[in-house]
Amino acid sequence: MMRGPRLLATAAALACAVAFVPDTAHAHLVDTRLGDFYSGALHPLTDLQQVLPWIALAVLAAFQGAQRARWIILVFPLALAIGGIASLAVPLPSFGPLLGLVLVAVTGLAVAAAARLPLGVLLAIAVVMGLLHGAQNGAAMVATTDRLLFLSGMTAVGYGVITLATGSAIAFLHGAPWRPIALRAGGSWVAAVGIMVLGLHLVRPVAG
């Protein structure tokens, strides 16, 4: 029986995910010295519009196999950082919120279909999402914000979430046949959210 180690690996990955959560909440209290690092780290997490497609992207990568999934762990945080830096020079594009919702729907649909994508397409989604979210978070900085700390925090949390989620998803996919189905159902929920909120956005655009 090889179930034991596998189960342990899953449990460890989930424990990491759980341990990650209280950490971010306590960070509210740290306002001195490294404060802006935590503002940057928290900013993407306070809005489901960013975390949701991050996790969908991670699961989508997991469906491509560990060999290919590794690439987004490198590419996504880099794109996030570049997007953040770009926000210092370039104003946010007006189609930002629309593109963000399209990304939610697209990644969700791809997970629901358990699509096997060419590596280039997967990385293109990761790059577009990273650049957009990096720029959106970066635009939240005010004049007094320490830019280096804020952008480092944002990139670090992007790296952390995408790595943990990809690792957990890859570990979770091994085993009983219901597991890929559970992840695909999750993707379908994400797509449903994306489609409905996209509809709402088209009727009643929200600024930001």
The contact set with another protein (CB under 8 A) reads 7, 10-11, 14, 17-18, 21-22, 24-25, 45-49, 52, 104, 109, 112, 172, 175-178, 181-182, 184-186, 188-189, 191-193, 195-197, 199-200, 203-204, 206
Looking at beta carbons only, is 148 or 185 nearer to another protein? Answer: 185
- Please name which of 126, 127, 134, 16 lies closest in space to residue 60, comparing C-alpha atoms: 126
Looking at beta carbons only, is 25 or 90 nearer to another protein? Answer: 25
Rounded distance between C-alpha atoms, residue 178 and residue 69, angstroms: 21
Q: Which two tokens stand for residue 107?
A: 């990644």
Looking at beta carbons only, is 124 or 181 nearer to another protein? Answer: 181
- Please, what is the minimum distance in Å from the beta carbon of residue 59 to another protein? 12
- Please, what is the minimum distance in Å from the beta carbon of residue 195 to another protein? 4
Looking at beta carbons only, is 85 or 198 nearer to another protein? Answer: 198
Rounded distance between C-alpha atoms, residue 11 and residue 8, angstroms: 5
What CA–CA distances, in Å, run from 89 to 49, 83, 138? 24, 10, 10
SS3 content of the chain, % helix, strand, coil (to 5): 80, 0, 20
